[in-house]
Amino acid sequence: MAISSPAVTDWKTGTSVWRTSVNTALILILVLVLAAGFVVFCEVDLARAEQVRYLPKWGWAILCMGIGLTIPFGGIAYLVIGKVRRPRLG
């Protein structure tokens, strides 16, 4: 019984190419769903916030939505810089 290698030879270049069973489209869909979920999380958190720092809420909303291709940097900036943290009681 022969064990097959996951590498195959490319017919154009003659070099060894690794074959994978991972579908690139599924990975892209997963990344897009995670990015959309992160934007929704940041927008809901922003809507519930009583106060924000450094920018008005609408400014943070635009930044979090990724206008100018800032996903996930706008959301991360809001969570790190713009969100007002309340001290925990207890």
Please state the pTM of the whole predicted model. 0.69
Looking at residue 43, its pLDDT comes to: 94
Q: Is residue 19 within 8 Å of residue 8, measured between CB atoms? A: yes
Locate the domains of the chain by residue range.
7-82
Q: Tokens 């291709």, residue?
A: 69
Q: Is the dihedral of CA 36, 37, 43, 46 positive or negative?
A: negative
Residue indicated by tokens 């994978």: 20
**Contact call for residues 72 and 35 (beta carbons, < 8 A):** yes
Q: What is the pLDDT of residues 7-44, one digit of tens each?
A: 667 667 777 767 666 788 888 899 989 988 999 999 99
- Both tokens of 49, joined, read 């916030």
- Assess contact for 38 and 75: CB atoms under 8 A: yes
Q: Give rounded-to-5 percent helix, strand, coil for the chain.
A: 50, 10, 40
